[in-house]
Amino acid sequence: MEKFVIEGGHRLNGEVTISGAKNAVVAILPAVLLSDGICRIENIPNISDVTTMIKILHGMGAKIRMINPTTVEIDPRPVNSHIVEHDLTRKMRASYYLIGALLGRYSKACVAMPGGCDFGVRPIDQHIRGFEALGAQVTMEKNAMVNVKADMLIGTSIYMDVVTVGATINVMLAAVKARGLTIIENAAKEPHIVDLANFLNTMGADVRGAGTDVIKIRGVESLHGCTYSIIPDQIEAGTFMVATAATGGRVHIKNIIPKHLESITAKLEECGVSIIEDEDGEGLVVSSNANLVRCNVKTMPHPGFPTDMQPQMTVLLSVAEGTSVVSESVWDNRFKYVDQLTRMGALIHVDGKVAVVEGVKKLQGAPVRADDLRAGAAMIIAGLIASGTTEIENIEYIDRGYDNIVGKLTTLGAKIDRVNFPDGEALVKNVG
Ligand code: EPU
């Protein structure tokens, strides 16, 4: 087992380059299954969710060639089954995109139920409604397999009852080769939805309106291979912005799309942080003197403040002057990590989906654990600003979504190490 050991109190300074977006690549890799040719995907991040998805595709028979650490070539043509029993699918949420992609390719799919971070109930009713609207029948098998099949997928109008990234993507994947026009209303607008649409269009699809709440997909007969580069990761960039702001440093964050970061930029500026776009428009310079002031944050679907930045921002607010209110409106249960922060001296009171954060002068290092991916990122930021040493367990969550986080932070002046510790010697006992 491994943990991170952080010696707090060092400001972040310098330059960091952001990797490709996790939530885009985990949709685009399964989408390759819809192609009749080889797809070359560039700017893929080196994270365990990508490794898992590539292993699943390989297990299905796809030919995989790593060209270099950030480029993969996938030939989906040898895949000859619509069934994915692989245990790996249960390890990650995005494995449910295999359902939409296989349905689009074969008009049928049978995939083990997805896993992923635990934020309370994570229903897939909107995915199922979407598949059914396209003419498929959906059944849940006893062995936790989702079985979807259609004689023929036929385009239709689908109104999403909730704004959902996953269901929007899954319906796009299923509809791209359906007969006629599919219209998704109340669609999610996240940058990764746009990236998937761009990828599908590069393969010859006809998808319009991605990034607005109405997406129109005119089905095409076939899709061809292509070369495509994944967009930069909005949440990795946001995490470095908050980490810089919280430590009182100055960092040039490169290879980003500033537009994707507007809600995060606005909140950090409200807290007293300076953020300036660089000359080429593909970077931001974040500087802070660590005298942060309170603000209120409410998470919303894009273009609102991203729920995937909520834990990191809460850490920053825990040392900002005054009382902040953080409202989580996307997930039912995304404040579990607050117990860990409290161990470090934060003063936070959680009531359901609202956290009231009383700013304290300083956090103190402590043994803590990553409860999920973004909670893990939050613990790292807490460790960077705390006095003394912080040890973080369960770091495999962090490896799912942050490419070389230790290397990147070390280059910026952080004191963080990845160390082994023997199985059974858990640092954080009797918590949660
Ligand atoms: N929802 C339903 N029914 C559905 C689907 C979703 O009620 O059929 C609800 C959910 O319970 C939730 C809300 O709709 O309350 C939004 O869920 P969404 O489907 O948008 O989430 P997701 O697709 O499962 C993706 C990201 C998450 C991110 C959310 C929200 C991926 C692989 N995951 O999850 O990212 O929090 O969108 O932006 O894209 C992360 O990267 O750390 C992460 C958890």
pLDDT at 423 over 80: no
> Mutate which of 162, 327, 374 to test ligand 1's pocket (most atoms within 8 Å of Cβ)?
162
**% of the chain at pLDDT higher than 70:** 96
First vs last C-alpha separation in the chain: 20
Closest C-alpha residue for ligand 1 atom 7 = 123
Helix, strand, coil percentages (3-state) for the chain, rounded to 5, are 35, 25, 40
SS3 430: coil
Least confident of 138-142, 330-334, 341-345, 403-407: 138-142
Q: How far is the CA of 165 from the centre of ligand 1 (A)?
A: 6
Ligand 1 pocket residue status of 96, Cβ below 6 Å: no
Tokens of 297: 């944050």
Strands of 157-159's sheet, edge to edge?
A: 157-159, 181-185, 214-218, 206-208
Strands of 2-7's sheet, edge to edge?
A: 367-369, 389-393, 2-7, 415-420
Closest C-alpha residue for ligand 1 atom 10 = 122
What pTM value is reported for the model?
Answer: 0.96
79-132 pLDDT, tens digit per residue, is 999 998 777 887 788 889 999 999 999 999 999 877 666 666 678 999 999 999
Ligand 1 pocket residue status of 307, Cβ below 6 Å: yes
Q: What is the CA radius of gyration of the chain?
A: 22
Q: Which residue has the tokens 């996938």?
A: 74
Question: Is 117 an active-site residue?
Answer: yes
Tokens of 163: 């704004």
| Angle (deg, nearest 10), helices 48-59 and 22-31 | 10
> Mutate which of 330, 371, 402 to test ligand 1's pocket (most atoms within 8 Å of Cβ)?
330
Q: How buried is 320 (Cβ within 10 angstroms: 0-12 exposed, 13-18 middle, 19+ buried)?
A: buried
What φ, ψ does residue 246 adopt, rounded to 5°?
-70, -35
Position 259 scores a pLDDT of 97
